[in-house]
């Protein structure tokens, strides 16, 4: 701690100061107790001038010590975070996800890691059982949603097929997606959003893969979700949208994004996505559109959310 305190007292450490600190810190750290290591790392997590070599050394330590540094340190630039994510454990990646200053590139890399983790085949019985439980939970939730919607649906509405056009999101679906967004449960969020849209889960996953947040914002506005709830969900799922907007507008970037979207245009856009989704995954021709260009634009938007994910799309189609 004396070593750390001496370094923290330097207002503008030179390269020589940083090199000397790193050379002294590592052996002192390795000779210290776990409690002393945690205290030193917690102190350095508040220091923006940590040498790059020291930052990487701390970030690769066991998660019990490195977590506070991964979630808070301003010394971890987007470049360093991307470097760490190439070899990060799932626990380290989850700690990085908690940062408030993630760049779009870092968010995209985290999404890739989640997808890679899901696509790996089970190597033991336990992961397979865990995946089976997850799928069963999602299927149970889908059935519960259908039952709730059926109970609330008007008598003239077919509960299995639902209305032919996009309708405003109901209280049940809204409460669930708000809850899952707040808890960071993106898998369950996708299941519920797909049910609210009357689409395949592939479409809701594609919407979430747009790291700009625009496609999810468009969907929420089309579903007539309250602006406050929409802004909260966007800020939770895309941390860069939690940043403050321009001073003249106030609020955060998520709220500004929602405010800029008109519902009529959003409905047209989402309807084109649903038609493309039905044509691709339900084996049905797309419903009549206002124009051929609208349908083409819908398919282009869906594909544009993840051109680099062609293999994932083929696997989804096979399922």
- For the chain, give the mean pLDDT: 77
Please state the rounded mean pLDDT for residues 63-69: 89
- Cβ atoms of 275 and 289 closer than 8 Å: yes
- What's the predicted TM-score (pTM) here? 0.43
Which stretch of 122-126, 190-194, 253-257 has the lowest confidence by average pLDDT? 122-126
pLDDT at 169 over 70: yes
**Looking at residue 245, what DSSP letter applies?**
-
pLDDT, average across residues 121-135? 56
- Does an H or E element contain 159, and which? none
> Cα 226 from chain centroid?
20
For 244, phi then psi, to 5°, come to -65, 140
What pLDDT is recorded for position 225?
A: 94
- Between 316 and 235, the more confident residue is 235
Q: What is the pLDDT of residue 228?
A: 92
Kindly tell me if the per-residue pLDDT of 222 is higher than 90. yes
pLDDT of residue 131: 61
User: So what's the pLDDT on residue 64?
Assistant: 87
Max CA separation in the chain (angstroms): 78
């Amino acid at each position: 701690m004396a070593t750390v305190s001496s370094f923290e007292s330097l207002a503008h450490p030179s390269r020589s100061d940083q090199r000397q600190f790193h050379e002294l810190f590592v052996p002192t750290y390795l000779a210290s107790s776990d409690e002393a290591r945690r205290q030193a790392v917690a102190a350095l997590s508040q220091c923006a001038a940590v040498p790059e070599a020291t930052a990487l050394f701390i970030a690769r330590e066991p998660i019990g010590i490195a977590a506070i540094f991964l979630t808070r340190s301003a010394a971890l630039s987007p470049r360093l975070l991307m470097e760490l994510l190439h070899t990060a454990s799932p626990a380290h990646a989850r700690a990085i996800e908690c940062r408030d200053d993630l760049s779009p590139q870092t968010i995209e890399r985290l999404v890739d890691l989640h997808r890679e983790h899901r696509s790996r085949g089970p190597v033991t019985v336990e992961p397979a059982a865990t995946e089976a439980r997850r799928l069963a939970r999602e299927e149970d939730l889908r059935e519960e949603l259908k039952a709730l919607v059926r109970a609330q649906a008007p008598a003239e509405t077919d509960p299995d097929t639902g209305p032919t056009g996009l309708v405003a999101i109901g209280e049940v679906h809204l409460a669930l997606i708000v809850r899952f967004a707040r808890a960071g449960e993106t898998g369950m969020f996708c299941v519920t959003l797909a049910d609210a849209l009357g689409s395949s889960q592939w479409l809701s996953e594609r919407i979430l893969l747009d790291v700009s947040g625009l496609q999810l914002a468009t969907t929420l506005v089309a579903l007539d979700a309250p602006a406050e709830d929409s802004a909260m969900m966007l800020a939770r799922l895309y941390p860069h949208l939690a940043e403050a907007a321009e001073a003249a507008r106030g609020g955060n970037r998520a709220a500004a994004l929602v405010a800029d979207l008109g519902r009529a245009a959003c409905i047209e856009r989402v309807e084109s996505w649903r038609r493309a989704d039905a044509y691709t995954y339900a084996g049905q021709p797309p419903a009549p559109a206002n124009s051929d260009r609208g349908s083409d634009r819908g398919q282009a938007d869906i594909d544009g959310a993840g051109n680099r994910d062609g293999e994932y799309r083929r696997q989804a189609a096979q399922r």
